[in-house]
A and B are shown apart, each in its own frame.
Chain A
């Protein structure tokens, strides 16, 4: 069931370089084409320096909303990195939030240098589940590696997001967007990635 909220608040989060802006813009483009007012807020600057980044996507039938989502008022969170998913949940989550997240960590430099510890995967998973009404945890990085293209992890996550069926956007609309806007040589790979993501969610139903 599609979430019936206006504005609908979606956050796509991760670490610089994972491609969160690309999928945020795809979603925005498709929904704008369907007559929604969509405003996307982005974090700049941290992107290439290992920083935490997120795009906030405000979707409405009425008007453009501020790119700033009120604290505690996200409806859906799509995370490309589990620690960042938790960071966003802590700020924007609530009893009804739906979460789709990659489970593969990208270690912060403090962890790599053994001055801090990355949370244990089970604890991280439990905390994300505890802060979500429903959460889907998928290793999209592993799936992308298996496709021979780590770069498409974001498209797999987008497939997962479509798979949960909470967005006012259909699988076919995303397929069409990929065919229409991606470089021809990458279309087949991205369509496969999208489908893998959707199937990963459907396999759990």
Chain B
């Protein structure tokens, strides 16, 4: 991040910024002093980046328990008259939505605060369970919605969003997406807006959506005023010839791709681009102005046909039955997944009847042959030394031979890799954050319907705090019969080792009073057992013991810090691990490298023995207890 406080207009920051860092910088320069969020790819770097500047700039930056609490915190700051930002991934917006729909009705009160809700969608679901298009939720919650199309715009539009929020007294949603949040470029910055020094709360008025009907009418009125402003919004613009044969309407990531597609096909003289940055309220008049004379229209966006529906509605209002509108609804662009150059080029080629060749057929054939005959997959797996591999190994052993059909629900974290091709495939049901426990709570009630299969739920420590606690309380209170295994690795590991309420530091690195998962579960009335992930024998027998009990909620806390966390603190390996070739049975056994599958263990095809790959080995020594022939040994490493 560049030096904060540079005020010369239009200065170029001499550093590459991720889209997320540009959003953070935009918020800072708009005067934001309160930031909250919950980690989630592709949103995490926004709060992480602000946290780095918290001390220097006297900001409040927090990793909140979940996205709803984060939104509430940011709203509180805005109601007090401060500028705030809350950042989350697509799934998180659903968590925060109950509050946000209410907040739209009351607005932010009479102070001059502002609040920007950044939601980072994941079209193509690169790092998510789904590719939900959050833009509908902004419309659903009556919130103004902006969608930038470049890193530069991400920065500028975060500032614009704050300005709009302050002007209209409502929060504004800024929608990002993987290809913006995680792309980087150099940007031009503007001047820094001064931060308020002191704020106070107005206790003479009540902000509540109760008696909501009149407030609903007010919100709609406000939105129509904002729609008028959006007709003139500087980031909505038309680029291209005066009388185009076809106009592409694009938002977000589709904007630069549409521009490039026009160049790839060489149709700059006949195709124009209407770039939309304000998507809700939809700038109908602007769209009508540019599309009135266009015989053909192609709408490109991610993921759902959100703009496309609104374009059609706008055309309907001006009696535009003669327009041919192409896009997802016409089948010219797929209604799922990311927008990429191939999709826009192929739609344009079809509509304009132009042939596009990316490379020769001969080359394409050679490439296909290489994929079929030479390439092999590179599956994702847990790091060497990861406690999850050991835990799932123990679980697999504990369930082996249990004829009752133990059913396992999972959750969201690194342990989700269990269901990937290189995992152990122990989990049967895997959904949203915290849903594993809620599902298990329900499954644990099914014995009266003849289902006596034991139920195990697995969740991580950060997930436990995020949304598993209400499910656990529900299970205890309603006498569900289930086991909860908490994989406590002391971090929100999947998204980059962020802090959470169970560890001794907060988002800005200050010490914090950690909440003890064991004590919390005991206080709820669950029975609690604790084990070490690396103690395979102990963990296996503890799971077996818990499976023998046929009532109540039993919690097993499996402790062991994330290996990446250990490596940050300790450079040397705890153990030096060796394979005894005399004892190793190679392919006759293959348990360590093929079943346990630590990437620091390899089966050597020449010697037909297992070998330790020193460069990958973390020195955890867990494989010693995996080998049935006692061929793997460990010694305390000399640093």
Contacts and interface: CB of A to CB of B under 8 A. Distances in A.
Interface stretch (B91-99, B191-199, B305-313, B356-364): B356-364
A95 B602 CA distance: 37
B603 A116 contact: no
B606 to A, nearest CB: 12
A68 interface: yes
Interface in B240-276: 253, 256-257, 259-260, 264
Contact of A114 (B257, B359, B367, B587): B587
A123 to B, nearest CB: 6
A65 interface: yes
A86 B371 CA distance: 9
A50 B16 contact: no
Contact of B183 (A67, A72, A113, A131): A67
B358 A39 contact: no
Contacts of B179: 41, 66-68
Given A65-B260, A73-B358, A83-B375, 10 more contacts: A32-B14, A44-B41, A50-B599, A66-B179, A66-B341, A68-B341, A93-B367, A113-B594, A127-B374, A150-B615
Interface string A37-75: 111111111101111100000000001111111111100
A71 B358 contact: yes
A119 B378 CA distance: 13
Contacts of A189: none
A72 B358 contact: yes
B182 interface: yes
B594 A131 contact: no
A176 interface: no
Nearest to A36: B186
A124 B16 CA distance: 35
A118 interface: yes
A119 B370 CA distance: 11
A133 to B, nearest CB: 10
A118 to B, nearest CB: 6
Given A32-B186, A38-B185, A113-B593, A118 B376 contact: yes
Contact of A66 (B260, B381, B602): B260
A114 B590 CA distance: 9
Nearest to B150: A64
Interface of A: 7, 15, 25, 28-29, 32-33, 37-46, 48-52, 63-73, 83-84, 86-87, 89-91, 93-95, 107-119, 123-124, 127, 130-131, 150
Contacts of B182: 41-44
A74 B370 CA distance: 17
A90 B377 CA distance: 13
Given A38-B186, A95-B360, A89 B367 contact: yes
Contacts of A90: 367-368, 370-371, 375
A65 B417 CA distance: 34
Nearest to B611: A112
A173 B359 CA distance: 33
Contacts, number: 184
B184 A25 contact: yes
A84 B378 contact: yes
B590 A95 contact: no
Given A28-B185, A40-B183, A66-B260, A111 B370 contact: no
Nearest to B495: A45
22 contacts: A29-B16, A39-B183, A44-B41, A44-B126, A45-B126, A49-B382, A52-B378, A66-B341, A67-B179, A70-B341, A70-B345, A71-B341, A90-B370, A95-B360, A110-B378, A112-B593, A112-B599, A112-B602, A113-B594, A114-B590, A116-B376, A123-B374
Given A42-B183, A112-B599, A127-B370, A49 B363 contact: no
B602 A44 contact: no
A38 B186 CA distance: 7
A51 B378 contact: yes
Given A39-B185, A41-B182, A114-B593, A49 B381 contact: yes
B366 A131 contact: yes
Which of B16, B358, B417: most chain A Cβ within 10 A?
Answer: B16
B11 interface: no
A91 B296 CA distance: 32
Nearest to B368: A90
B363 A28 contact: no
Contacts of B264: 70
A83 to B, nearest CB: 7
A-B complex: 3 closest residue pairs judged by Cβ atoms: A72-B358, A70-B341, A72-B359
Contacts of A7: 260
B376 A110 contact: yes
A119 B359 contact: no
Which of A63, A72, A131: most chain B Cβ within 10 A?
Answer: A72
A7 B383 CA distance: 37
Contacts of A87: 375
Which of A7, A83, A84: most chain B Cβ within 10 A?
Answer: A83
B597 interface: yes
Interface string B148-189: 001110000000000000000000000000010011111000
B55 interface: no
B331 interface: no
A185 B599 CA distance: 32
Contacts of A39: 150-151, 183-185
B580 to A, nearest CB: 19
Nearest to A150: B615
Interface in B336-392: 338, 340-342, 345, 358-360, 363-364, 366-368, 370-371, 374-383
Contact of B378 (A32, A37, A50): A50
